[in-house]
Amino acid sequence: MTERPLRVAVLGTADIARRRVLPAMAEDPDVELTAVASRSGARARQLAERYDCAAVESYDAVLDRDDVDAVYVPLPVSLHAEWARRALAAGKHVLAEKPLTAHAHTTAELLDLARSSGLALMENVMFVHHPQHSVVRELVAGGAIGELRSFTAVFAVPPLPADNIRHRPELGGGALLDIGYYPVRAALYFLGTGLNVVGAALEHSGGSAVETSGAVLVRSPDGVLGQLAFGMEHAYRSAYELWGSEGRIRVESAFTPPADHKPTVWVADAGGPRELTLAPHDQVAATVRAFVRAARSGGTDPHTAAECREQARLLDAVRARGAGR
């Protein structure tokens, strides 16, 4: 007997929900969008009409609905913990935008609650579901560039409007949590757990109330250094490079490629430079499928949960180092 689709409601009408996640959910045969909630009735109705689902003006009312198995939370970071906790308490699986929360202890608390409740709680980090990165990891593991010596990753976007929520500290704004998240997670992906934040600098351009750029130096337990940079007042860049004793591997369009993008992995090794062109892959759709699998299996995969905890620890450590603590 075929399982019924996972019935998902959305708490909020953020750009990432409208532009990327809801279209992917609507295309997935294992997902049924049942409700869109917003504190603005007009915004809820506008989005709900597009997906032929209910419009709700209260987040709490969504959690009381019997036709909701799971919720997607694309709210500002400062609201993630509250609504993820309420959703889990109501027996709903949760997919929350990244980072799951602004602090490691809160992230750990929510992951423990989800585990004890038999519910899936997943951070919406999409790039890890793109196969281009597993191809790179396999090349490194196979000795394509010899012994890994160094990892660099950068992610930056052009200046954002002054009223963008990323400029509002009370909403969890700032370059670290929204943009620095990607290079930090990439370091975790390629260098493994136990990273030590050796140094960090967070810059507040023009007297901004939040950090607008940053740089981080991490060291893995086996001595590989990672250099990470990020910002929200730069020419766009999304890339990483692994440098070994015998060669290099570089990936551009690393973190947010569109679904029709054909990834290129640049390899320079003993055989000379070469390019590996990979098939397009929709990492948003892949993330939605991973969430459905987690919900149907009765909880988040322990490895995924452990990575979420470690990511939260690293972001806390970067914030502390950047503040001189």
* Shared domain check, 252 and 225: yes
Domain of 161, in residue numbers: 131-280
The yes-or-no verdict on residue 2 having pLDDT over 70 is: no
Split into its structural domains, the chain has a count of 2
Percent of the chain residues topping a pLDDT of 90: 91
Q: What is the average per-residue pLDDT within 63-79?
A: 96
* Shared domain check, 24 and 108: yes
* Shared domain check, 148 and 69: no
User: What's at 229, amino acid-wise?
Assistant: A
> pLDDT value at position 101?
97
> pLDDT value at position 325?
66
Q: What is the average per-residue pLDDT within 39-50?
A: 91
In terms of Cβ atoms closer than 10 Å to its own Cβ (0-12, 13-18, 19+), residue 158 is exposed
The yes-or-no verdict on residue 39 having pLDDT over 80 is: yes
Q: What is the average per-residue pLDDT within 45-74?
A: 95
Structural domain includes residue 297:
no
What CATH number did the domain enclosing 34 receive?
A: 3.40.50.720
| pTM across the whole model | 0.95
* Shared domain check, 69 and 25: yes
* Shared domain check, 192 and 136: yes
Tokens of 137: 């990891």
Q: What is the average per-residue pLDDT within 75-80?
A: 96
Q: Between 232 and 324, where is the model more confident?
A: 232
The yes-or-no verdict on residue 229 having pLDDT over 90 is: yes
* Shared domain check, 233 and 106: no
Structural domain includes residue 139:
yes
Structural domain includes residue 100:
yes
pLDDT in tens, 270-295: 888 999 999 999 999 999 999 999 99
> pLDDT value at position 148?
98
* Shared domain check, 119 and 12: yes
pLDDT in tens, 181-219: 999 999 999 999 999 999 999 999 988 899 999 999 999
Alpha-carbon distance 278 to 265, whole Å? 8
The yes-or-no verdict on residue 324 having pLDDT over 80 is: no
pLDDT in tens, 145-163: 999 999 999 999 999 888 8
The yes-or-no verdict on residue 40 having pLDDT over 90 is: no
Lowest mean pLDDT among 30-34, 58-62, 162-166, 282-286: 162-166
Q: Exposure string (b/e) for 33-63, b if CB count within 10 Å is 16 or more?
A: bbbbbbeeeebbbebbeebebbbbeebeebb
Q: Exactly one of 7, 20, 93, 98 is catalytic; which is it?
A: 98
* Shared domain check, 171 and 99: no
- For CA atoms 256, 260, 265, 266, the dihedral sign is negative
66: nearest Cα among 38, 36, 34: 34
* Shared domain check, 179 and 110: no
Q: What is the average per-residue pLDDT within 155-175?
A: 93
Task: State the pLDDT confidence band at 299, using cuts at 50, 70 and 90.
Answer: confident
* CB-CB contact of 263 with 282 (8 Å): no
Active site residue 92: no
Q: Between 122 and 39, where is the model more confident?
A: 122
Structural domain includes residue 315:
no
Structural domain includes residue 173:
yes
Structural domain includes residue 292:
no
Percent of the chain residues topping a pLDDT of 70: 99
The yes-or-no verdict on residue 228 having pLDDT over 70 is: yes
> pLDDT value at position 301?
87
Structural domain includes residue 288:
no
> pLDDT value at position 1?
45
The yes-or-no verdict on residue 134 having pLDDT over 60 is: yes
* Average pLDDT value for the chain: 95
Measured CA angle at 184 (ends 132, 78), to 5 deg: 115
* Shared domain check, 272 and 153: yes
Backbone angles phi, psi at 156, to 5 degrees: -150, 150
Lowest mean pLDDT among 81-90, 122-131, 161-170, 181-190: 161-170
User: What's at 315, amino acid-wise?
Assistant: L
* Shared domain check, 184 and 157: yes
